[in-house]
Amino acid sequence: MKRREFLKNSALASGAFLIPAFLKPLEGIASEQISGYKHLVIIQLSGGNDGLNTIVPFGNDIYYQKRTSIAINPADVIKLNDMQGLNPNLSALKEIYDQGWMNIINSVGYPNPDRSHFRSMDIWQTASDSNQFLTTGWIGRYLDSNCQNGNKNPYTAIEVDDTLSLAMKGASMKGIAVQDPNKLYQTTREPFFKDLVHEHDNEHLSEDNLGYLYKTMIETYSSADYIQKTSKTYTVSAEYPATPLGNQLKTVSKFINSGLQTRIYYVSLSGFDTHVAQQNQQGRQLKIYGDAVAAFVKDLNQTGKLDDTLVMTFSEFGRRVEQNASNGTDHGTANNVFVFGGKLKKAGIFNDAPNLTQLDNGDLKYQVDFRDVYATLLDKWLDVNNKLILDKNFKGLDFI
């Protein structure tokens, strides 16, 4: 196969292995040089998770009137206060909540919401207005900002997956998708790949004739070595559920505890588009989510990393308040967002339960703009002015 054909058909062309150039100089940095290094872990629940059956407003009769067959039985709800409680499939999170390591933000959304999975996910990943179309993600623009500022220890972002989400793509910098550091390392050490990397003196390559992809290949070759060598210095001893999300978060724990210089991690769990027979389907996914997150938070607490880690969970939208005729729910609007960490300023339930009496054509009205959540993470955790990333200045919230 010729080099041009290899590059065209390889995973590199899809962006799966795109990696910032600034990771290369980090190869020799020892993990002990990193102290107090703050990490942000984003968990995406794809499909539009039903927030009302996740954080259940069992104290509101309207909830039971609107959901005659799919509402969570009050006796099964894990009570958090007189109004709201956890879905019973999230029982693993009760201990996390009681420790003060969990914050629940109700009614998060944005003006003029879009009910398309793809468009709404784009809005959340790019932090755009509903009528604004951006080609860069909010995390990608954060990477751009730090690169331009000449940060001596530049941060990077890793998505524990085979493909890179729009959220991670900036104008000049991008995160890297790495599901298995050993697999990435072995792939870059294949003889053909290795030969291509070292064959760069014989021809002049520009971006028009695949110079950009060739450059990416060289950076990936170098950075795979750094990621693999650093992460293998630590073995996770905590037990995690044997699920894809459990494995993803176990990998994040390995990266964090090994001292990998990565600021942001991104993982996802799909299966939340519950138009039909919602209770069982959502229940299964919530158990996968709750068990994996509880294991991760307890693991980081044991290793002393929880105070330096924030975990934020979102879904592209919630579901309609009233159930449909198929014992499910259709696409809605505002939803809950979860934040986990060892240093939360306000643990527990952040704001009032969703208002079920004042709806917008059958949907919840948002009370918190999701970009105020992002602004809080940017200003107070990632140490960057949110206006540089979000284009407008958002006031943020007071949970950290």
DSSP string, 99-134: TT-EEEEEEEE-SS----HHHHHHHHHHT--TT---
pLDDT, residue 174, reads 85
pLDDT score of 349 more than 90: yes
pLDDT score of 31 more than 60: no
Asked whether the beta carbons of 314 and 371 are under 8 A apart, the reply is no
Stretch among 139-148, 228-237, 292-301, 380-389 having the lowest mean pLDDT: 139-148
pLDDT, residue 162, reads 87
On the 0-12 / 13-18 / 19+ scale of CB atoms within 10 A, 118 is exposed
Q: Using pLDDT thresholds of 50, 70 and 90, give the confidence band for residue 33.
A: very low
- In the beta sheet, which residues pair with residue 315? 45
Q: Residues for the chain: how many in total? A: 400
pLDDT score of 291 more than 70: yes
- Name the pairing type of β-strands 309-315 and 39-45: parallel
Q: What are phi and psi of 209, to 5 degrees?
A: -110, 40
Q: Using pLDDT thresholds of 50, 70 and 90, give the confidence band for residue 367.
A: very high
**Which of 256, 262, 233, 229 has the alpha carbon at shortest distance from 153?**
262
- Name the pairing type of β-strands 176-177 and 157-159: parallel
pLDDT score of 153 more than 60: no
Mean pLDDT, rounded, for 217-222:
67
Tell me yes or no: is domain 3-23+37-390 CATH 3.40.720.
yes
- Cα–Cα distance, 5 to 10 (Å, whole number): 8
pLDDT score of 22 more than 60: no
> Averaging pLDDT over each range in 23-27, 322-326, 382-386, which range is the top one?
322-326
In a 13 Å sphere around the CA of 262, the CA atoms on its Cβ side amount to 32
Q: Using pLDDT thresholds of 50, 70 and 90, give the confidence band for residue 181.
A: confident
CB atoms within 10 A of CB 279: 18
The dihedral sign for the CA sequence 378, 379, 380, 383? positive
CB atoms within 10 A of CB 81: 10
Stretch among 101-110, 162-171, 316-325 having the lowest mean pLDDT: 162-171
Measured CA distances, 159 to 95, 263, 400 (Å): 28, 11, 24
Which tokens belong to 236?
Answer: 């996770």
Q: Using pLDDT thresholds of 50, 70 and 90, give the confidence band for residue 264.
A: very high
pLDDT score of 6 more than 80: no
pLDDT score of 218 more than 80: no
Which tokens belong to 298?
Answer: 């307890």
Stretch among 2-16, 77-91, 222-236, 325-339 having the lowest mean pLDDT: 2-16
180 Cβ partners below 8 Å, 6+ apart?
A: 251
**Which of 248, 252, 219 has the alpha carbon at shortest distance from 234?**
252
pLDDT, residue 185, reads 77
Asked whether the beta carbons of 115 and 320 are under 8 A apart, the reply is no
The dihedral sign for the CA sequence 371, 378, 45, 118? positive
Measured CA distances, 301 to 160, 236, 294 (Å): 21, 13, 11
pLDDT score of 188 more than 80: no
* Alpha carbon of residue 319 to chain centroid: 20
For 1-5, the CB contacts below 8 A with 24+ separation are: 1/192, 3/196, 3/199, 4/210
pLDDT mean across residues, the chain: 86
- Cα–Cα distance, 62 to 55 (Å, whole number): 15
Q: Using pLDDT thresholds of 50, 70 and 90, give the confidence band for residue 204.
A: low
3-class secondary structure, 27: helix
- Cα–Cα distance, 15 to 127 (Å, whole number): 21
User: Percentage of the chain with pLDDT > 70?
Assistant: 81
pLDDT score of 19 more than 90: no
Stretch among 33-42, 103-112, 159-168 having the lowest mean pLDDT: 33-42
| DSSP class of 73 | P
- Cα–Cα distance, 208 to 58 (Å, whole number): 60
Burial 331-352, CB ≥16 within 10 A → b, else e: bbbbbbbbbbbbebeebebbbe
Stretch among 135-139, 152-156, 237-241, 278-282 having the lowest mean pLDDT: 152-156
Q: Using pLDDT thresholds of 50, 70 and 90, give the confidence band for residue 24.
A: very low
Helix (H) or strand (E) run with residue 25 in it: none
pLDDT score of 150 more than 70: no
- pTM beyond cutoff 0.95: no
Mean pLDDT, rounded, for 93-113:
98
Mean pLDDT, rounded, for 150-173:
77
Residue-wise pLDDT for 193-203, tens only, equals 666 656 554 45
pLDDT score of 399 more than 70: yes
Helix (H) or strand (E) run with residue 43 in it: strand 39-45
For 203-207, the CB contacts below 8 A with 24+ separation are: none
Which tokens belong to 339?
Answer: 């934040």
Instruction: Indicate the domain borders of the chain.
Output: 3-23+37-390
- Cα–Cα distance, 133 to 48 (Å, whole number): 20
